[in-house]
Structure 1
């Protein structure tokens, strides 16, 4: 398994490092517009290989990604705490389109995994310019938001986050939709939990929407949670686990890339699962989809 990273900034390097610790690839290649940055990160990861599953960790330019099984796109300009992700659209669109085309020319059989923001629009753009089928162009989507949702619910109600089944769908952005109606704890509805309060769940939903901006304001950027979330997707692909994850893929029903619970395995994104929603949640999802479409229209 060869996984290449286009972009070796904080998030790209953290994803590569986490993938190394998990033993997800036999070969890891890091590239960056600043070659010394890619070289430094590769050497840093390589020097810890005595305590990790063995892999060849290399740096280079985009030609060195040739023959990759998975290409992870993290290149781009990060957002500031006080700006929405979509403001990155004009800054990152041209760069991402160029990088995707070149990367796929060297690895035509790869799965393309998008992490660059604004994530939904960049996933749609990558799908349009890559020529790859929809199942092989995957955005991290609301996997990160879902992780935050479960973590905050766990903190609020004093339970293990790994026991929580809850999803955020729609846009990885301001119109994300945390699904409240389907939250379960080991199959038991959250509403059956002693001490359950609707207001507490509403507070959690607000915290999820503000989570990224809060971390950016405090430390300049989000790194570890995005890396863990990205590697959850990579692990599902590498291990062919058919795990249910709310990744972002082009959806023919909606006509745009959007995050919905999806089976993820070695062939990339599988079928989207029809998760029950209330009328209110469905309406919020439709609004989120419309928001993504409006931003995508700006690319035309």
Structure 2
């Protein structure tokens, strides 16, 4: 091959491809590899790394993605393996690795097993990429974001979890469906704890530039309204259960959410996303917990948190989630 190159070219210098927006995905399961695929297709990064403890699987996944990259215009460098040094100099680290729940296992025991994975790898990843923003996806992402913060040594603004961003998308989709408008015309937030206790903020919903409750103060709450907020909340949460029941896991929507967060960070766009961040000092919270609020994201991570007005019920629920997560955090060791 070197002989052919000698005949074809007069070499002037060695090309060195600079990594400007390196993204490392830790975990080569369904979510991790799907996230890598979306990042590849959307051309978010010129350097994508997948780290996995399963050498054979990661070798196959990387080969598959490398061959897939020929279908995109700006082909990134794609690499992977068990060697953590591959992640060196990452701008974003997306942590997707986690264990599956064992039959009969309680919630805290499963969390502890995920904590053990984090203990083994988060400090080493942070050491190799001291300026990265770490996105925690592993369930339960709010509690594990707290663990990652403690283990990494990163400042709180550079640790986020995917949180209720995906719930917010589902919330908007359901509102759009009820009103028979395009989802692009709807804006609205779901905050708090990721999962069944998330808090949909009907007061945040707007259609175009109009606040929904300014147009119809009874929407979602009046007994005469066929659409109840409780129904919308239930459907928002139920969507996850339905998908898991039908296909055993959620991958595409989480992958697209992760890719969107990574894009917002590497492009330094200062856009608002509903992500899990440290909320001590906000809304009367005095404990160190990560829960979702609308945040401004850029290359430094979370730089601002939107000052949203919560009613008494929403504030009470946020404090309940705070206390619940704080108790879980007290029950794990790291």
TM-score (norm 1): 0.93
Would you say the 8 A contact 1:88–1:117 is kept in 2? no
Would you say the 8 A contact 2:108–2:331 is kept in 1? no
Q: In the alignment, what sits opposite 1:54?
A: 75
Q: In the alignment, what sits opposite 1:289?
A: 322
Would you say the 8 A contact 1:181–1:278 is kept in 2? no
Larger radius of gyration: 2
In structure 2, relative to structure 1, the CA distance for the partners of 1:82 and 1:209 (3 Å cut) is farther
- Among candidates 243, 261, 271, match of residue 233 of structure 1: 261
Q: In the alignment, what sits opposite 2:179?
A: 157
Q: In the alignment, what sits opposite 1:182?
A: 204
- Among candidates 275, 281, 284, match of residue 247 of structure 1: 275
Q: In the alignment, what sits opposite 1:77?
A: 99
Equivalent positions of 1:14-33 (< 5 A) are: 14-33=34-53
In structure 2, relative to structure 1, the CA distance for the partners of 1:76 and 1:165 (3 Å cut) is same
Is the deviation greater in 118-127 or in 180-189? 180-189
Q: Give the secondary-structure state (helix, strand or coil) at the position aligned to 1:180.
A: strand
CA distance in 2, matches of 1:180, 1:170: 14
CA distance in 1, matches of 2:33, 2:182: 28
Q: In the alignment, what sits opposite 2:130?
A: 108
Deviations 1:246-290 (A, max 9, x none): 111222313211111100011111111111222211111111221
Would you say the 8 A contact 1:85–1:118 is kept in 2? no
Would you say the 8 A contact 1:156–1:200 is kept in 2? no
Would you say the 8 A contact 2:34–2:255 is kept in 1? yes
Q: Give the secondary-structure state (helix, strand or coil) at the position aligned to 2:150.
A: helix
Q: In the alignment, what sits opposite 1:119?
A: 141
CA distance in 2, matches of 1:131, 1:181: 37
CA distance in 2, matches of 1:240, 1:83: 41
Q: In the alignment, what sits opposite 2:289?
A: 256
Q: Give the secondary-structure state (helix, strand or coil) at the position aligned to 2:241.
A: helix
In structure 2, relative to structure 1, the CA distance for the partners of 1:7 and 1:117 (3 Å cut) is same
Would you say the 8 A contact 1:85–1:173 is kept in 2? no
CA distance in 1, matches of 2:257, 2:245: 21
Is the deviation greater in 220-229 or in 203-212? 203-212
Give how far 1:220 is off.
0.7
Q: Give the secondary-structure state (helix, strand or coil) at the position aligned to 2:250.
A: coil
Q: Given the alignment of the two structures, is residue 137 of structure 1 paired with residue 159 of structure 2, yes or no?
A: yes
Q: In the alignment, what sits opposite 2:248?
A: 220
Give how far 1:78 is off.
4.1
Q: Which runs of 5+ in 1 are unaligned?
A: none
CA distance in 2, matches of 1:184, 1:81: 43
CA distance in 2, matches of 1:35, 1:197: 51
Q: Given the alignment of the two structures, is residue 204 of structure 1 paired with residue 225 of structure 2, yes or no?
A: no
Q: Give the secondary-structure state (helix, strand or coil) at the position aligned to 1:71.
A: strand
CA distance in 2, matches of 1:19, 1:224: 12
Is the deviation greater in 151-160 or in 76-85? 76-85
Q: Given the alignment of the two structures, is residue 11 of structure 1 paired with residue 44 of structure 2, yes or no?
A: no
Q: Give the secondary-structure state (helix, strand or coil) at the position aligned to 1:246.
A: strand
TM-score (norm 2): 0.84
Would you say the 8 A contact 2:33–2:61 is kept in 1? yes
Corresponding pairs, count = 300
Deviations 1:190-221 (A, max 9, x none): 2427x955434431210112221211110010
Q: Give the secondary-structure state (helix, strand or coil) at the position aligned to 2:90.
A: coil
CA distance in 1, matches of 2:100, 2:39: 21
Deviations 1:112-146 (A, max 9, x none): 11111110010000001110101111111111111
Give how far 1:63 is off.
2.0
The RMSD of aligned alpha carbons is 2.3
